[in-house]
Amino acid sequence: MLAAALAASAAVLATSAAAAQGTFVEGTARVESDGAGAVELTGREPEVDGGPAPAAGASRDDGRSWVSVPVLSFQDSRYCRGSRSLNVPDAEVESTRALWNLSYGAALDVVYGLAIDYAVEPCAGGARVDLAPARDLLEQVVFDLPRPDPRIEPGYGLTGLRMYLERGVGGALTYQSAPVTVALGDVTTTVRVTATATYVVDWGDGTTTTHDCEGVGYERRDAPGACLVSHVWTDRGTYPVSVTDTWRLTAEIAGLPDVTLTQQLLPVRFDHEVREVQAVRER
């Protein structure tokens, strides 16, 4: 039900400075949380009329009305209840209000595990916060992430023999940037990006495996604590092997919730030859 509510929502975290005061998040769409204060931004808010909002419910002669809707915001290390004024066609007033109420309830479900409006205090006055630049920073860091150069020594395999894949030089599964100063709306603060990855190996014979370590070659397979990423092919042939990384990036923002992004990178592919060795019987 929660997934359906989130899917139906066009925006959950958003506010208008003209409509309400407080430390608000705007320029974002859905919110997902692990319950520890981390905010997941999964889209961008659709364009709306940003003009000054008249009194709630006031109409204009062009067949449009202003609607005040609830939004989940963040202020002073806690979530708070804010509002936003939207200018919509008169015929869409009730459906807009219903949609945003649904979105607000879904956000509470994710953050708190229960959709109880009175559990969240109203936002007080304060500076406006825009987390979109933090999301943009994460998207830029994606291009700096380590990329694997996978190999299986000695460059070919034998049927029935276990072979070991290594990610190669530069195939690290962690990343951390130096702290940078970023303007987030009215607030300027320090942001540091960290990231960790898992990856899927498609062995080319219909088998896939998922890993969170870099792997070692055949000669180091018995080393203490060695991470083994291995496979056995039963038939000879040339197999298209691929390695696909999925990274979870986190923007650690001083004084605000973390912003996270999950990004799957394009697979790295190579061909692996598997030979068959047959015993020769002496006469």
Burial bucket for residue 223 (CB in 10 Å: 0-12, 13-18, 19+)? exposed
Nearest residue to 88 via CA among 70, 67, 102, 69: 67
> What confidence score (pLDDT) does residue 4 get?
36
DSSP β-ladder status, 187-202 and 180-184? antiparallel
Q: Are residues 83 and 157 in the same domain?
A: no
Domain contains 283: no
Residue finishing a domain among 92, 119, 146 = 119
Tell whether the model's pLDDT for residue 150 goes beyond 80.
Answer: yes
Span 157-182, pLDDT tens digits:
999 999 999 998 778 999 999 999 99
Q: Are residues 234 and 163 in the same domain?
A: yes
Give the structural domain span for 35. 2-119
Q: Are residues 248 and 207 in the same domain?
A: yes
Q: Are 146 and 245 in contact (CB under 8 A)?
A: no
| Average pLDDT value over all residues in the chain | 73
Q: Are 149 and 171 in contact (CB under 8 A)?
A: yes
Span 210-257, pLDDT tens digits:
999 999 998 888 899 889 999 999 999 999 999 999 999 999 988 777
> What confidence score (pLDDT) does residue 280 get?
60
Nearest residue to 167 via CA among 238, 249, 231, 245: 245
Domain contains 127: no
Span 180-189, pLDDT tens digits:
999 877 778 8
Average pLDDT over residues 16-23: 27
Span 32-56, pLDDT tens digits:
333 333 333 333 332 233 333 444 4
- DSSP-H helix ranges across 50-178: 93-112, 132-141
Residue finishing a domain among 52, 86, 119 = 119
CB proximity list for 94: less than 8 A, separation 6 or greater:
none
Tell whether the model's pLDDT for residue 127 goes beyond 50.
Answer: yes
Q: Is 169 left (phi over 0), alpha (psi -120 to 50) or beta?
A: beta
